[in-house]
Amino acid sequence: MNQPADITRSTLAVLFIGLLIASCLWILRPFLFSLGWAVMIVVATWPFMLSIQKRCWNKRWIAVLVMSLALILLLVIPLSFAILTILERAGDLITLLKSLKAVHIAAPPDWFEKVPLFSHTLIDRWEELSMISPQELSEKLAPYVNTTLKWFVGQVGNIGLLVVQFSLMIILSAVLFAQGEKAANLVCSFARRLAGDRGKEVAMLSAAAIRSVALGVVGTAFIQSALGGLGLIVAGVPSAALLIAVMMILCIAQIGPSLVLFPSVIWLYWSDQTTWAGILLVWSLFVTLVDNFVRPFLIRQGADLPLILIIAGVIGGLLAFGVIGLFIGPVMLAVTYTLLIAWMKGAERDEIAETH
């Protein structure tokens, strides 16, 4: 006789809890992206913070101050500089794209014959383009130029929001650094309440996944953009600051530096600087391939995660959430993957225990 009343009470309790959770998420919605950044950064850099605290006479506030300044100098300023540089030079890029609409393609340059392996392919493609009239070329390029113009104009309006999110991220990171143990105990207690001892194990695995993604994605991007930028500066490629900024964004997006480096090599060949072009070509090949060694090494410092998972998370996060999704996407997929693997292994252990 009491069963219908119990079902009703349980259903209402679940609905009430769901309503509370949805209301809290709605209230915290403006802070969720910044909080996600802050959590990822604090989890990834927590061992460094503890090391700094030991060197600062075990004063937590000094360590928090040092880590906050380090975040501003190593993360916020470079990313802000990259985005602002791209937006400041957007007019030049759009003017260049528009000028291509009236270009007349002449005969292939002589240096095409000196390009190893691809000389015949380059000459054939160039001759195919030279057969297209300027009007046809203009019609083919017009949609891309207009799309690029709209994209750059739209990004200008997001700069203010990006600055606010960066500021919130620094503040929330400082709070989490100061109260890291309490936050970790709260998460572990919640996980243990949900799944017992296995829940705590899953929480620790999630932290390792976050650390591996941060080290793998961001660390590799900074290394590749720094090496590629060094090559551009030494080779004397103009607008190196803009190209480094674009290269860093492309590396974080898992596209790689090749879209910047190899066109720079072509420009050097075009300018009859064949020596520097050859040197930059070899250096570009090295920089492009270095992520195949650096990224797996850095990722496996935190957890053993498939590389395809990281790439899918970065691209999917970028499409779903914009620039912030570059960081949130791979972390969410990595945490989900880690939880699923831990859950499946836990089920296997339970089956083995029951058989014995």
- Looking at 46-87, which runs of residues are DSSP E strands? none
- Please report which confidence band the pLDDT of residue 1 belongs to, taking 50, 70 and 90 as the band edges: very low
Write the CB contacts of 145 (distance below 8 Å, at least 6 apart in sequence): 94, 97, 98, 100, 101
Assess whether pLDDT exceeds 50 at residue 46.
yes
User: Distance between CA atoms of 330 and 37, rounded to whole angstroms?
Assistant: 12
Cβ count within 10 A of residue 4: 8
Residue 341 has pLDDT above 60, yes or no: yes
Longest dimension (CA), the chain: 93
What's the CA gap between 216 and 160, in Å, rounded? 28
pLDDT (0 to 100) of residue 205 = 72
CB atoms within 10 A of CB 272: 11
pLDDT at 231: 92
Instruction: Name the nearest CA neighbour of 166 among 338, 56, 34.
Output: 34
The mean pLDDT value for 142-159 works out to 59
The arithmetic mean of pLDDT across residues 21-31, rounded, is 88
Query: End-to-end alpha-carbon separation of the chain, Å?
Result: 41
Q: What is the pTM of this model?
A: 0.65
pLDDT, residue 153, reads: 55
In this prediction, residue 303 has a pLDDT band, given cuts at 50, 70 and 90, of: low
Digit-coded pLDDT (tens) for 99-141: 555 555 556 666 666 666 666 777 777 777 667 666 666 566 6
pLDDT of 153-206, one tens digit each? 565 556 666 667 778 888 999 999 998 888 888 888 888 887 777 777 777 777
pLDDT value, residue 227: 93
Does the pLDDT value for residue 2 go beyond 60? Answer: no
Residue predicted with more confidence, 151 or 268: 268
Res 324: pLDDT: 62
**E strands, 38-114, in order:** none
Minimum mean pLDDT among 163-177, 232-246, 292-306: which range? 292-306
pLDDT attached to residue 85: 66
| Distance of alpha carbon 265 from alpha carbon 269, whole angstroms | 6
Domain ranges of the chain: 29-178, 194-351
pLDDT at 40 over 70: yes
Percentage of the chain with pLDDT > 70?
Answer: 69
Q: State the pLDDT at residue 342.
A: 74
49-101: per-residue pLDDT in tens?
A: 999 999 988 899 999 999 989 888 877 776 667 666 666 665 655 565 555 55
For the stretch 319-338, pLDDT in tens is 787 656 766 777 778 778 87
State how far the Cα of 134 lies from the Cα of 90, in Å rounded to an integer: 24
Q: Which pLDDT score is estimated for 95?
A: 60
Q: Which residue has the higher pLDDT, 231 or 109?
A: 231
**pLDDT score at 133:** 63
- pLDDT at residue 26, as a whole number: 92
pLDDT averaged over every residue in the chain: 77
